[in-house]
Amino acid sequence: MKILRVIFFLFVAKTSFANVILPSVFSDHMVIQQNDQVKFWGWASPNEEVIIRPSWTTEIYKTKASNQAKWELMVKTPSYGGPFIISIKGYNEIVLNDILIGEVWLCSGQSNMEMSASWGIKNMDEVEKANHPNIRFFNIPKLSSETPQNNVPANWQASTPEIMKNSSAVAYFFAKRLQENLKEVPVGLIVSSWGGTPAEVWMPEETILNNSILNKAASKLKPVEWGPTQPARAFNAMINPFIGYNIAGVLWYQGEANVGAKNYEKTLTALISSWRSIWNNNFPFYYVQIAQFEYGGDHFGGTEIRNAQRKVLNLSENTGMVVIDDVSTADDIHPKDKKTVGIRLANLALKNHYKTFDGVVNGPLFKNVSFEKGKAKVSFNNSKGLNIKGDNSLFEMAGADKIFYEAKSKTNNDCIVLSSKKVKNPKYVRFAWKNTARSNVFNEANLPASTFTTEH
């Protein structure tokens, strides 16, 4: 009897403390990145053997948990397809079902990324058509933490009218457009967003602490009732748990909560660099320039953020920006047309990352300016078919005193020539330099020009 008790005790101890555990991002219905070496990880007893058997191959992957009770394996994935089954076995066995292989995108930011059809969008007729089993959401709830976390309470869900209605509308329309062009490649959307949050809460704390400019900007953030403003609080709880999960790229829609910041281009560039470094992947990072809004008439805070976002294109490689003020209004900080935004982001990805789209995906972007005989000649990238709509000029000129006056503007081939009787010797120009300004300069693709200034 004593021997039986010992055997029973050893059996219970072994089965109680030796189970393989997976983070929630590895679960039924997940999408994993195609044509890649995908990282799987989890926890198990030290030295416990972990075996992964994916149904798309006869290859078997094995490793052993470390003395820290952690393990990880790199698994090769084929071209898109599914559904597949994955067996992960230690002393116990976990079987993941309905797994798709395709393209995975991380979608993050504040409320305009979070915004779902349930909030009320222009494209409500799309909800009932949202049965797309090859589009999957991994919606992360709002969480904050002072320290990096290793798991989140979330699960993968296939797109249905109900799921789509309560998920990021921008992310959904992005995925739908990708599928139209990539011929039904499954798309996984990891949505990690929180309305009203500044960029500082979305990056590692050391990234801010080790940079005096970022640290100074973060110290100026004031507490608000709707979310954290301290560095890294959302990153720790809503990004860190799935770092290493292979992604194709990032979509970012944020900036309104940083209105008033003077160095946002440095903040966003640091965020991009920190994420790429932690993932060890120079993935594409596509973002939305915030739209015009009535932040107040006594400052240019919103305009400065838009200009900072434009600058990031030259400060960080493999980035792309979409301008949306032609489909938004200054009286609504949450533009209702999320379909156009998602499509424009998708077109960036299709042209720059997937190389499957030949159309124009960017509006005119400031290139340079030259001055001659009291006039300014402004050149743009993406300028084919450059045109000015309406009579009200949004261009301004200034001399050495940096006092700006409205300028007359006219197109000259792919440039715009400016003049003002009040500025005899122009030194600086700016465009749409007002929080509520709506761009009136377009190119052949009818895409709007971005706010810019040459003053700084």
Q: Which domains does the chain have, with CATH numbers?
A: 2-100 (2.60.40.10), 102-353 (3.40.50.1110), 365-453 (2.60.40)
Q: Where are the beta strands (DSSP E) in 121-256?
A: 132-139, 156-159, 187-193, 249-253
- Long-range Cβ contact pairs of 121-127 (< 8 A, separation 24 or more): 121/169, 121/336, 121/337, 121/338, 121/339, 122/336, 122/337, 122/338, 122/339, 123/169, 123/173, 123/337, 123/338, 123/339, 126/164, 126/173, 126/339, 127/161, 127/164, 127/165
Please give the chain's pLDDT, 456 residues, in tens.
455 454 444 444 444 456 999 999 999 999 999 999 999 999 999 999 999 999 999 999 999 999 999 999 999 999 999 999 999 999 999 999 999 999 999 999 999 999 999 999 999 999 999 999 999 999 999 999 999 999 999 999 999 999 999 999 999 999 999 999 999 899 999 999 999 999 999 999 999 999 999 999 999 999 999 999 999 999 999 999 999 999 999 999 999 999 999 999 999 999 999 999 999 999 999 999 999 999 987 899 999 999 999 999 999 999 999 999 999 999 999 999 999 999 999 999 999 999 999 999 999 999 999 999 999 999 999 999 999 998 777 999 999 999 999 999 999 888 999 999 999 999 999 999 999 999 999 999 999 999 999 998
CA distances to 6, 17, 452 from 13, rounded to whole Å, are: 10, 6, 66
Global pTM value: 0.94
d(CA 195, CA 111): 4
Q: Where are the beta strands (DSSP E) in 356-413?
A: 365-372, 375-381, 387-388, 395-398, 404-406, 408-412
| Phi, then psi, of 158 in degrees rounded to 5 | -75, 150
Continuous segment of H or E residues that includes residue 345: helix 338-348
